[in-house]
Structure formats: C-alpha cells, structure tokens
A = this chain, B = another copy of it.
Amino acid sequence: MHAVTIVEGALVWAERDDPRPGPGELLVQVRAAGVNGADLLQRRGLYPPPPGVVADVPGLELAGEVVAVGEGASRFAPGDRVMSIVAGGGQAELAVVPEGSALRVPDAMSDAEAGGFPEVFSTAHDALVTQAALSAGERVLVSGAAGGVGTAAVQLAHALGATVVASVRSPEARDAVAALGADAVVEPAEVAASGPYDVCLELVGAPALAATLPAMATGGRAVVIGVGAGARLELDLLAVMGRRLRIGGSTLRARSLEDKAAVAAAVARDVLPLVASGAVRVPVWATVPMAEAQAAYDRFAAGGKVGKLVLVTD
C-alpha cells in the first residue's frame, strides 16, 4: 500500500508494508481521511503519537470499507462501510482500526463526509456533553467556530437545544457558521460582551479563553480542545471560586481503547441519529487526493477554511 509519510517535515506518498489486523481489529480500505490541526503539529514533530502507534504516518480519522477482520472481531464484516478515530496512521490506503472505535457509516453519508466525521464529532460531543454536561437552554460559546471541531460543535449544541454564540476570525466565515445553527456569530473582540456563557468550548487557545472567563456565568464550564494561539493561561482563582467555574481540557488521542470505545458508543447513540435526520452534517470544505497531502496540509495551514479538509483515495 501507499501512505502519507513524514520525511524530515515533508509529506511524501510512499510505498509501505500493508498493516495486518490483530485481535479485535479491522483492516479498512481507506476511502477518505480528514486532516486535523494535530496532523500539522505532528508533521512538525510537535505531537508524537502514543507508544505503539506508527509515528511517521499521520491521520486521526478515516472512513472506508472493511476488507478483513482480526481474531475475535465480530461486529463488522468485509464489505461494511465504517468510519473511526485512530491514534495515527489513518492517511493511508489501508489502516487498522480497533473494532470498538468503529462506527457504521449511515447510508446518506458520502465517503468524504464520513472521513471527516469521527474526530471532530467525537471531540465536540465528548467536550460538550461528557466533559461540560451541556444542557438544553444553556448558552454556549464555540470559540473558533469555523474549523472542523467548531462546525461540529455549533451544530451539536444547536441540536441539543442550547443557545449558541460562535466566534470566528474571518468575516468570510460568518454566514457559513450562522447557517450551521449559531444564534449569533461574533468577532473575537465581541466575545466578552456577548456572554454570559454557561459553557465555553475553547478551540483557539489561552488568549481567547482569558478574554472569555470574565463572561462565564456562575457554574460555568470551559473545555479546552485547541491551543494554537497559546497554552499559558493566567488564571484568577478567586474568580474561579466566586463563580464556581470549572476549567478542563481534553484530547481523544491519548485515551485507552476502552475510553475510545465509550466515546464511539456515545456518538453512535447521540450523534448518528442526528446525522440520519439531517440535523447535523459534515461541512466538507475541500477534498484533495491523498497523494497530494503536502499541498493539502499547506492549504489547511493557510487558514480561511470553514469545515473539513478531507484526503481521498481513488
């Protein structure tokens, strides 16, 4: 098979050994694999995968067709369309997926949509529902709403009955984000005045969160998922105490297989029905042949996109 391969900070489309499914694993012929911010960090050597995961093939999510199943794997059979988060190695013609992480692709979903679904919807659902316990009627800020997780979170929060304020940097992204269900789309400088917020999903980083915290309501919860703009936060613990704030953060990648299976089960239960009903969808900004991953990453890094950039195979 071929795989996107990191060679001294560049991405090449290289011949690699075919992976083989171990016990409880699926071998998937990959049709589509989303690009995420973490992939760009990994290309620069800043976000190594967990131990035991291929280090020079990026890719945290994929969709495709099961072509073989490992010993004891029983939920899927060859020919099934599946999508999954993976700890790495997703941007390749073949990938191995732990069966517990795999989700069945709804019929209405294209390969490109499915390839851009697992990481961002799993992350958004885990952050909003599992970590922040978002309730209907609450007011949520999605800080950095134009990206993959942001567009997923706006839709999910809206579908859950929350009032959604979405911050976006680029004026061009405003209409697209509003169309996803945001009640208000604001510039970063308008965030503080647009509160109070019961929940903040922080996808930009410490400077944005620092500006948001004074606008958090009593009992507010902030969940940090992205820190591209900086990771050092100066926190006033008196304000945290006085308003009973909670500041947390999360990544999916480092979790145990059991945790990831629990995340997948929650997505299957809560989010796939919303996909089937059309309440949420994967906004695919562009598809690029997987062999041209280098150019795709550069487009991602240049910014200005709304939604997902997805690599596709022939």
Contacts and interface: CB of A to CB of B under 8 A. Distances in A.
Interface string A236-269: 1110111011111111001000000000000000
A161 to B, nearest CB: 23
Interface in A203-224: 205-206, 209, 218, 224
A234 interface: yes
Contact of A237 (B244, B249, B254): B249
B251 A242 contact: yes
A246 B244 contact: no
B234 A234 contact: yes
B250 A247 contact: no
A233 interface: yes
A241 B232 CA distance: 12
Given A233-B234, A234-B232, A234-B234, A248 B242 contact: no
Q: Give the size category of A's interface with B.
A: 20 to 34
Contacts of A205: 237
B241 A250 contact: yes
A233 B244 CA distance: 16
Nearest to A209: B237
Contacts of A233: 234-235, 237
A227 interface: yes
A231 interface: yes
Interface in A45-79: none
B232 A236 contact: yes
Contacts of A191: none
Contacts of A231: 236-238
A127 to B, nearest CB: 10
Contacts of A238: 227, 231
A225 interface: yes
A246 B245 contact: no
B224 A242 contact: no
The 6 closest A-B pairs by CB, nearest first: A241-B249, A240-B249, A246-B248, A231-B237, A233-B235, A231-B238
Interface of A: 131, 205-206, 209, 218, 224-225, 227, 231-238, 240-242, 244-251, 254
Given A231-B236, A241-B250, A246-B246, 7 more contacts: A206-B237, A231-B237, A232-B236, A237-B249, A240-B249, A242-B249, A244-B251
27 contacts: A131-B246, A205-B237, A206-B237, A224-B237, A224-B240, A224-B241, A227-B238, A227-B241, A232-B235, A232-B236, A232-B237, A233-B235, A233-B237, A234-B234, A234-B235, A240-B248, A240-B249, A242-B249, A242-B254, A244-B248, A244-B249, A244-B250, A244-B251, A245-B248, A245-B249, A247-B247, A247-B248
